Chain A
């Protein structure tokens, strides 16, 4: 409990300072946190349709796109990572595609999919697949030779080789990629909604700003922060369970 207080002291302090400054300055552009909290309450709790029509679809698109990118990224990454030949052919293409800033493809996806869920999901998938893919390649390559030999000697089946050896050996790297991708998913979700959408948190944020409702605009920003924090915490909890097999000393190095 003490540690918890210690961790959040600076954060709480800054909120308090903002509250005080906000009340003193009385500036419409910078409302105090208490007002933002009230606005958030009114917006999403007292009017639940805002939650169901905007917040939930946003989260849904983010998670769906991240899941798609993760599955494709891990599968392709493990495949490329275990085949030097395939990696030689694919590498220049990967480096090139990865270098394209994902928001630059929003206009392209708009043409292909029109405004809506598929366009936004496509934008997120394209943007967040690279950290997963490249980390999976790295992880699959890192299976050490003795484990490869051991697997060969015991004549294990292909499925056991992939899911019982390569995947677990690569999992620490894969999780590192998943974490980067998840936070990137949030960024791209907002961008896709700011540019072209008819619902979602980003769209609401934009609407609030256009309606000069700056308190609600800030409420949107805070909601995104809370969302990002929550998602990352959830993923870390999953990671800690999934990688519990790692020797303690290495765990400490990660911390």
Chain B
């Protein structure tokens, strides 16, 4: 299988601050890879260097194709309120002839189940629907790689499950290569074929884990499967390894204190 994305020794520093330090990984065609790391570990820098929004200070990003698309976390800001839903989906396609543009937009809206909302403005839709518009827009662009930045972090839990399943269905039906950057361990295990675990800043690759779950996933059965639980714990341990966070120590201290209090009062 060919690689859609090859990242070699990618590093970026802002002044003295090293955000990411030497990342090397590939994403194969048709694969869904999740990048998971502690908050503030340089995930957004990684995303911005891969998408070409900033030039990395060192290393190399090679995309097997002319362009990628990004779905940002903040759909309200990334969609254009002066365009209709259809207009938003056609936004990346302006260089195409009108008929072709229409066709692709209608197609993409159908994939995400928003055909009926084509003429509405994004702000007339719910948050989940708005993010579906953003996904449709990215898919209509036919990117070599679909890059997603915490795509479901701004919607409620129910909608989040729906969107996760929508992503899995769409990428299976259309053989899309996807890289999801997230801080949510459960999400990364549920969505991913493979998980890249990053350390906190500077971001380094801690582990590259295949997800041993069947391609067909289900919100209830998958999340309770042994493989899921085991992998989730493994990723959680990896994220805490090497650098126990302040909070963990604080919680431990608080727990000891409350225990001793209960003991002394009884």
Please pick, from A147, A150, A168, the residue contacting B70 in the complex, using a CB distance under 8 A.
Answer: A150
Q: Which of B67-83 contact A (CB under 8 A)?
A: 67-70, 72, 74, 77-78, 80-83
Closest to B51 in A: A153
Residues of A contacting B95 in the complex (Cβ-Cβ under 8 angstroms): 157
Chain B 113-126, CB-CB to A under 8 Å as 1, else 0, gives: 00000000101000
Shortest distance from the beta carbon of B201 to any chain A beta carbon, whole Å: 21
Beyond A149-B72, A153-B51, 20 additional contacts (C-beta under 8 Å) are: A145-B77, A146-B72, A146-B77, A147-B77, A147-B80, A149-B48, A149-B51, A149-B78, A150-B72, A152-B53, A153-B53, A153-B70, A154-B91, A156-B94, A168-B80, A169-B82, A171-B82, A245-B81, A245-B82, A245-B83
Residues of A contacting B92 in the complex (Cβ-Cβ under 8 angstroms): 154-156
Residues of B contacting A155 in the complex (Cβ-Cβ under 8 angstroms): 67, 92
Contact B94 A160 (CB under 8 A): yes
Q: Which of A154-183 contact B (CB under 8 A)?
A: 154-157, 160, 164-165, 168-169, 171
Contact B94 A157 (CB under 8 A): yes
Residues of B contacting A171 in the complex (Cβ-Cβ under 8 angstroms): 82
CA distance in complex: A153, B77 (Å): 14
CA distance in complex: A19, B197 (Å): 84
Contact A154 B141 (CB under 8 A): yes
Q: Which of B147-202 contact A (CB under 8 A)?
A: none
The total number of A-B Cβ pairs within 8 Å is: 55
Contact A154 B74 (CB under 8 A): no
Closest to B67 in A: A155
CA distance in complex: A247, B130 (Å): 14
Closest to B84 in A: A245
Contact B80 A165 (CB under 8 A): yes
Contact B78 A150 (CB under 8 A): yes
Residues of A contacting B78 in the complex (Cβ-Cβ under 8 angstroms): 146-147, 149-150
CA distance in complex: A191, B26 (Å): 71
Closest to B73 in A: A146
CA distance in complex: A152, B78 (Å): 12
Residues of A contacting B91 in the complex (Cβ-Cβ under 8 angstroms): 154, 156, 164
CA distance in complex: A168, B88 (Å): 13
CA distance in complex: A146, B72 (Å): 8
Closest to A149 in B: B53
Instruction: State the main secondary structure of chain A at its contact with B.
Output: helix
Residue contacts A-B, CB under 8 angstroms, 14 given: A144-B77, A146-B74, A147-B77, A149-B48, A149-B53, A150-B70, A153-B68, A153-B69, A154-B91, A156-B91, A160-B94, A164-B91, A169-B82, A245-B83
Chain B interfacial positions (CB closer than 8 Å to A): 48, 51-53, 67-70, 72, 74, 77-78, 80-83, 91-92, 94-95, 121, 123, 141
A253 at the interface (CB under 8 A from B): no
Shortest distance from the beta carbon of A114 to any chain B beta carbon, whole Å: 45
Please pick, from B48, B74, B94, the residue contacting A164 in the complex, using a CB distance under 8 A.
Answer: B94
A6 at the interface (CB under 8 A from B): no
9 residue pairs, one from A and one from B, having the closest CB atoms:
A146-B77, A154-B92, A245-B82, A168-B82, A247-B123, A153-B70, A146-B78, A150-B78, A144-B77
Contact A154 B69 (CB under 8 A): yes
Contact A245 B121 (CB under 8 A): yes
Shortest distance from the beta carbon of B248 to any chain A beta carbon, whole Å: 33
Residues of B contacting A169 in the complex (Cβ-Cβ under 8 angstroms): 82
Shortest distance from the beta carbon of B89 to any chain A beta carbon, whole Å: 11
Residues of B contacting A160 in the complex (Cβ-Cβ under 8 angstroms): 94
Shortest distance from the beta carbon of B37 to any chain A beta carbon, whole Å: 20
With most chain B CB atoms within 10 A of its CB, the pick from A146, A150, A164, A168 is: A150
A246 at the interface (CB under 8 A from B): yes
Closest to B48 in A: A149
Closest to B134 in A: A150
Residues of B contacting A246 in the complex (Cβ-Cβ under 8 angstroms): 81
CA distance in complex: A121, B70 (Å): 49
Residues of B contacting A149 in the complex (Cβ-Cβ under 8 angstroms): 48, 51, 53, 70, 72, 78
Shortest distance from the beta carbon of A203 to any chain B beta carbon, whole Å: 43
CA distance in complex: A165, B77 (Å): 12
